[in-house]
A and B are shown apart, each in its own frame.
Chain A
Amino acid sequence: MAFSSALTITDLNDFLAPGQECIKPVEAPKMLLREPGAAEITIGGDGSYYESGKKLQQAQITLNDCLACSGCITSAESVLVAAQSGDEVLNVTRTLPPGHIVVLSVSPQTLAALASSSSTTLQDTLDRIGTWARSTLRAQAVFDTTFARHISRHETVREFHERKSASTPGPMLAGACPGWVCYAEKTHGAMLPLMSATRSAQAVMGVLVKQWLARKWSKQPSEIYHVTVMPCYDKKLEASRPDFAPDDVREVDCVLSTGELAQLMRDVPADAPPAELVPLDVDLPRLLTHAGTSSGSFLHALLADYAGRNPGAVLTHTERNADWSDYTLADADGTTLFRGATCYGFRNIQNLVRRLKPKHSAVVRRKAATAVADVTAYDFVEVMACPGGCVAGGGQLVKGRSAAKDVEDVYWSIGEDLKALQDAERLMDDIGRDLWGKDTGLRDQLLRTSYKAVESDVVGLGVKW
């Protein structure tokens, strides 16, 4: 299988790596496991394997296998690419039954990366993707995910206050990063109660498209093929979670990385839009800017909320390292109101997790309190797996800190528009009335998710010590 250039993450030295041993291939047919030379296996023109003229069955590993298995920290990239690829999107959109429609939702980090690489604006980039997608994918609606992010941030604040009033032990940890979620579920089950249950922007977008817009458009969820474009391969994993596929209908059918979209736009250039394609009349706000971080700005949603309730509060910001910043909000007399942090990258996650874990009191007798940060004093930590956060995600066009800086600059090129945010707030309320009304259970079902620790069952036999 040919990997896209965007898939090579070997130049990053701080990432969540695939596990060394995927246990699924052991179920491959026995004939594949013979000694080398025992049979001649040839590769046919279609890429299939043939043994003595007989076509061999290919070992198939689905995303759901990866989610259920604890063998890897994140799943093998080849699996991700095979299941949700540009080719898959082309195949599905070209053979869509009559009456079915295609919707594309693009992350703002994707727009920033594409705009940065072609020296255009975010708006131009979104328009260009829209024109291309209408022609090539017959997409009837192209959104960005900033409005979904608006809802996700709003829900994060709501969940935070719920936890506070229920005296749930903190800190609350952001749950929007699928790499972090997957890692925590597989190796740090003790972190899961701290994890924010609020859906990520992508998962909220799934609800908006398959529930709210579907109703407005008089479509069944299964009649909409929903493609998202994300800065991160692990979003493919997130979209495959059962929570996001009620009644086996996925809310996000396929996730492409920024690099995969760019490749697809190069490989399949746009023609004129097909005549019968009529744009849909219901729309969502686009290109909303939420001040703070370029990784969803969840921490700043809480900071803004606290600052709004405490006029005159003073925010201090200290950088521990490039990917770990502390934010403290104090009132005029110096009393701390809120403590939060952004904590990105595998090694910072390690240090965070180690300090949040209960000590092995039976064996470990700790001495005096350490000089290092007491992470349990945080109210909220915006945890992201990638160093540099989502703009520097593994699915972006180029890697490295300086490239991410350029993308970051474009990301912030549209200032915060209060009028647009107020409009978004009103639409959000309308949608709430339409979707769940006063039914908080239904609301939680649509805006929250849950996490489950995966027990390791991989035994490393057959490895030379």
Chain B
Amino acid sequence: MTSPTHTIDPIAVLEGHDERVWDVAWNPSEPLIASCSQDKSIRIASYAQTTASGDLDFANIAQIPTGHKRTVRALAWAPSGKTLAAASFDSTISIWEREDGDGEWECSATLEGHETEVKGVAFNHEGTMLATCGRDKSVWIWEVHPDSDFECLSVLMEHAQDVKSVAWHPTHDILASASYDDSIKLYIDDPSDDWFAFATLTEHASTVWDVCFSPCGRYMASASDDTTIRIWKARDTKFHEWNCVKIIEGAHSRSIYSIAWTTADGTLGWIASAGGDGRVNVWAVTEVAEGVDVTLIAQRDETHGVCDTNTVRWCPRPGKQNVLATAGDDCAVRVWGVVPSTG
């Protein structure tokens, strides 16, 4: 391994959850970060730049008990930043909004329909649709109406097992899902009929835990229990055909649970991965003739002590796109900056 050019430096530790933290979500429009936990609560922290050097100062601003009967497993902000969706093992999804924009967080809707645990939730790029997935092997697509009304558009029963996560394409209404059946499926709407799976990617040798698109939308990365990361490239401009163009092996010693892609100057961006070994890796991705080159630019072990790291997410806000947050079994959310090595 070439020596990393960057380091992953701690910025903040957000404590307060009583049990393991499953997911963390950066608000796209406001300096807010939300986390959810097995303790059935959602916590929201705000952050601000305190010094000229750019240090971020975090403050807990809300602790929402949610009312969910079981673990809150996943979170997603709408692109507007005004709505937060929370997926729970109690088979429901709750929708949270602030009264008058800055008051108390209130549940404005509960989505029922999944048979068992809901494990993933994601808004599309326009905020007009919400996708959810879960242990009942299904992927649901909901249309977002005004005043927190949701209409089910489709129930996709394509996977043979538990669906772990869903991710929308950054510019098109294409949905990806990752499953315990070791596959990734991609879905699109047939305007004359229903949503359908147009591609199934089966090259992972074990559970696919997470999937994300590159900021440009031409690539996709997946993280698996087989301890590899795969990068997939769209072969056409309509994103209908995807091929694996890179396999990253040996970067994690245990299951990789989470993967996230951020923009970075001069490259296709940076990919961060995290998993059961507690390690966080950051790669710079560059485009080459037949796909991509990846360079490991930073690595940090024991990000949550001896515990599993469940999620890694990049801050989407301008100027902060080198900041990432991780959620772990140590009940904490940890915020990190990926910065050039000194010396």
Say if the beta carbon of B137 comes within 8 Å of chain A. Answer: yes
Say if the beta carbon of A218 comes within 8 Å of chain B. Answer: no
Interface members, chain A 361-405 (any B CB < 8 Å): 362-368, 370-372, 401
- Residues in B whose Cβ lies below 8 Å from that of A13: 154-158, 194-196
The interface-forming segment of A35-43, A117-125, A129-137, A344-352 is A344-352
| Cβ distance A390 to chain B, nearest Cβ, rounded Å | 19
A362 and chain B: residue at smallest CB distance: B67
Partner of B155, one of A20, A347, A365: A347
Partner of A351, one of B116, B146, B152: B152
Is A370's CB under 8 angstroms from B145's CB? yes
Say if the beta carbon of A463 comes within 8 Å of chain B. Answer: yes
Partner of B108, one of A346, A365, A463, A465: A365
- Residues in A whose Cβ lies below 8 Å from that of B150: 354
A348 and chain B: residue at smallest CB distance: B152
Is B110's CB under 8 angstroms from A363's CB? yes
- Residues in A whose Cβ lies below 8 Å from that of B158: 13
| Cβ distance A186 to chain B, nearest Cβ, rounded Å | 9
Is B152's CB under 8 angstroms from A350's CB? yes
Ordered by A's residue number, 14 sampled pairs between the chains whose C-beta atoms are within 8 Å are A13-B155, A13-B158, A347-B152, A362-B67, A363-B110, A364-B108, A366-B147, A367-B108, A367-B147, A370-B145, A371-B145, A372-B149, A460-B117, A464-B180
- Residues in B whose Cβ lies below 8 Å from that of A14: 154-155, 194
Say if the beta carbon of A187 comes within 8 Å of chain B. Answer: yes
B94 and chain A: residue at smallest CB distance: A363
19 extra interface residue pairs, beta carbon distance < 8 Å, beyond A187-B115, A371-B146: A13-B154, A13-B157, A14-B155, A14-B194, A17-B138, A19-B115, A20-B115, A20-B116, A347-B153, A350-B152, A351-B151, A354-B113, A354-B152, A357-B112, A363-B107, A364-B109, A366-B147, A370-B145, A371-B147
Say if the beta carbon of B80 comes within 8 Å of chain A. Answer: no
The proximity string for B residues 192-223 relative to A, scoring 1 for CB distances below 8 Å and 0 otherwise, is 01111000000000010000000000000000
Q: How many residues on chain A are close to B (CB under 8 Å)?
A: 30
- Residues in A whose Cβ lies below 8 Å from that of B57: none
| A367-B113 in contact given A13-B195, A346-B155 (Cβ < 8 Å) | no
A360 to B119, CA, bound (A): 22
- Residues in A whose Cβ lies below 8 Å from that of B43: none
- Residues in A whose Cβ lies below 8 Å from that of B116: 20, 460
Say if the beta carbon of B341 comes within 8 Å of chain A. Answer: no
A372 to B144, CA, bound (A): 11
- Residues in A whose Cβ lies below 8 Å from that of B113: 350, 354
Say if the beta carbon of A73 comes within 8 Å of chain B. Answer: yes
The proximity string for A residues 138-178 relative to B, scoring 1 for CB distances below 8 Å and 0 otherwise, is 00000000000000000000000000000000000000000
Is B148's CB under 8 angstroms from A366's CB? yes
Interface members, chain A 49-94 (any B CB < 8 Å): 73
Chain A positions within 8 Å of B, measured between CB atoms, are 13-15, 17, 19-20, 73, 187, 346-347, 350-351, 354, 357, 360, 362-368, 370-372, 401, 460, 463-465
- Residues in B whose Cβ lies below 8 Å from that of A366: 108-109, 147-148
**4 residue pairs, one from A and one from B, having the closest CB atoms:** A350-B152, A370-B149, A363-B67, A347-B152
| A372-B155 in contact given A13-B196, A364-B110, A463-B162 (Cβ < 8 Å) | no
- Residues in A whose Cβ lies below 8 Å from that of B313: none
A114 to B72, CA, bound (A): 50
A357 to B92, CA, bound (A): 14
| A372-B108 in contact given A19-B115, A347-B155, A460-B135 (Cβ < 8 Å) | no
The proximity string for B residues 161-178 relative to A, scoring 1 for CB distances below 8 Å and 0 otherwise, is 010000000000000000
How many contacts A-B (CB < 8 Å)?
86
Say if the beta carbon of B136 comes within 8 Å of chain A. Answer: yes
Chain B positions within 8 Å of A, measured between CB atoms, are 67, 94, 106-113, 115-117, 119, 135-138, 145-158, 162, 180, 193-196, 207
- Residues in A whose Cβ lies below 8 Å from that of B149: 370-372
A116 to B160, CA, bound (A): 34
A351 to B112, CA, bound (A): 10
A255 to B72, CA, bound (A): 44
- Residues in B whose Cβ lies below 8 Å from that of A370: 145-147, 149
Is A354's CB under 8 angstroms from B194's CB? no
- Residues in B whose Cβ lies below 8 Å from that of A346: 155
- Residues in A whose Cβ lies below 8 Å from that of B94: 363
- Residues in B whose Cβ lies below 8 Å from that of A73: 115
A187 to B116, CA, bound (A): 11
- Residues in B whose Cβ lies below 8 Å from that of A368: 147
A360 to B106, CA, bound (A): 13
- Residues in A whose Cβ lies below 8 Å from that of B67: 362-363
| Cβ distance A317 to chain B, nearest Cβ, rounded Å | 21
| Cβ distance A400 to chain B, nearest Cβ, rounded Å | 9
- Residues in A whose Cβ lies below 8 Å from that of B111: 354
Partner of A464, one of B108, B153, B162, B193: B162
A19 to B151, CA, bound (A): 23
B141 and chain A: residue at smallest CB distance: A347
Is B107's CB under 8 angstroms from A364's CB? yes
A372 to B143, CA, bound (A): 12
Is B135's CB under 8 angstroms from A463's CB? yes
| Cβ distance B37 to chain A, nearest Cβ, rounded Å | 14
A185 to B37, CA, bound (A): 32
| Cβ distance B233 to chain A, nearest Cβ, rounded Å | 27
A73 to B137, CA, bound (A): 13
A372 to B136, CA, bound (A): 28
A465 to B71, CA, bound (A): 12
- Residues in A whose Cβ lies below 8 Å from that of B135: 20, 460, 463, 465
| A401-B193 in contact given A13-B154, A370-B145 (Cβ < 8 Å) | yes
- Residues in A whose Cβ lies below 8 Å from that of B154: 13-14, 347
- Residues in A whose Cβ lies below 8 Å from that of B147: 366-368, 370-371
A366 to B107, CA, bound (A): 9
B196 and chain A: residue at smallest CB distance: A13
Quick one: which of A13, A354, A364, A401 has the most chain B CB within 10 A?
A: A13
Is A17's CB under 8 angstroms from B148's CB? no
- Residues in A whose Cβ lies below 8 Å from that of B117: 460, 465
A187 to B109, CA, bound (A): 19
A347 to B147, CA, bound (A): 21
- Residues in B whose Cβ lies below 8 Å from that of A351: 151-152
| Cβ distance A329 to chain B, nearest Cβ, rounded Å | 26
- Residues in B whose Cβ lies below 8 Å from that of A354: 111-113, 150, 152
- Residues in A whose Cβ lies below 8 Å from that of B180: 464
- Residues in B whose Cβ lies below 8 Å from that of A347: 152-155, 194
B73 and chain A: residue at smallest CB distance: A465
Is B145's CB under 8 angstroms from A372's CB? yes
- Residues in B whose Cβ lies below 8 Å from that of A460: 116-117, 135
A370 to B151, CA, bound (A): 12
| Cβ distance A7 to chain B, nearest Cβ, rounded Å | 16
Quick one: which of B149, B154, B207 has the most chain A CB within 10 A?
A: B149
| Cβ distance A322 to chain B, nearest Cβ, rounded Å | 8
| Cβ distance A374 to chain B, nearest Cβ, rounded Å | 11
| A464-B155 in contact given A363-B107, A365-B108, A366-B148 (Cβ < 8 Å) | no
| Cβ distance B254 to chain A, nearest Cβ, rounded Å | 14
A400 and chain B: residue at smallest CB distance: B193
Is A360's CB under 8 angstroms from B110's CB? yes
